[in-house]
Amino acid sequence: MKSLTNFKLKDMELKNRIVMPPMCMYSADEDGMVKNFHITHYVTRAVGGVGLIIVEATGVIPNGRISSNDLGIWSDSHIKGLKKIVDQVKSYGTKIGIQLAHAGRKCESNDEFIVAPSPLRFSDEYRVPRELSKDGIKEIVSQFKDAARRANEAGFDMIEIHGAHGYLINEFLSPLSNKRDDEYGGSRENRVRFLKEIIEAVKEVWPENKPISLRVSADDYTEGGIDKEEMVEIVNLVKDDIDIVHVSSGGVVKARINAFPGYQVTHAERIKKECNIPTIAVGLIKDYDHIEEIISNERADLVALGRALLRDPYLVLNMAYERNISGFFPKQYERGFF
Looking at 28-42, 67-81, 246-260, 317-331, which range is the least confident one? 317-331
Alpha carbons 119 and 139: distance in angstroms, whole number = 18
- Tell me: pLDDT of 1 over 80: no
Backbone angles phi, psi at 29, to 5 degrees: -90, -175
The pLDDT, as a whole number, for residue 158 is 98
Query: Helix, strand, or coil here: 96?
Result: strand
**pTM above the 0.75 mark?**
yes
- Tell me: pLDDT of 328 over 80: no
Cβ neighbours around 29 below 10 Å, total? 10
Alpha carbons 26 and 71: distance in angstroms, whole number = 8
Handedness of CA 189, 193, 195, 200 (dihedral sign): positive
Residue type present at position 251 = G
Q: By the 8 A CB rule, do 73 and 116 touch?
A: no
The pLDDT, as a whole number, for residue 222 is 96
Q: By the 8 A CB rule, do 38 and 80 touch?
A: no
Percent of the chain clearing pLDDT 70 (strictly above): 100
DSSP labels for 276-315? T--EEEESS--SHHHHHHHHHTTS-SEEE-SHHHHH-TTH
Residue type present at position 335 = R
The pLDDT, as a whole number, for residue 337 is 79
How wide is the angle at C-alpha 148 spanned by C-alphas 152 and 17, nearest 5°?
70
Average pLDDT of span 274-297? 95
Alpha carbons 95 and 306: distance in angstroms, whole number = 17
pLDDT in tens, 86-122: 999 999 999 999 999 999 999 999 899 999 999 999 9
The pLDDT, as a whole number, for residue 29 is 94
Cβ neighbours around 125 below 10 Å, total? 7
Residue 318 burial (CB < 10 Å; 0-12/13-18/19+)?
Answer: middle
Mean pLDDT of the chain: 96
Alpha carbons 41 and 106: distance in angstroms, whole number = 25
CA quadruple 50, 155, 69, 27: dihedral, nearest 10: 40
Cβ neighbours around 293 below 10 Å, total? 16
13-329: CATH, from 3.40.50.2000, 3.40.50.300, 3.10.129.10, 3.20.20.70: 3.20.20.70
- Tell me: pLDDT of 293 over 80: yes
- Tell me: pLDDT of 136 over 80: yes
Q: Which of 234, 244, 230, 291 is nearest to 272 (CA)?
A: 244
Q: By the 8 A CB rule, do 178 and 117 touch?
A: yes
- Tell me: pLDDT of 264 over 90: yes
Alpha carbons 222 and 225: distance in angstroms, whole number = 6
Average pLDDT of span 55-76? 97
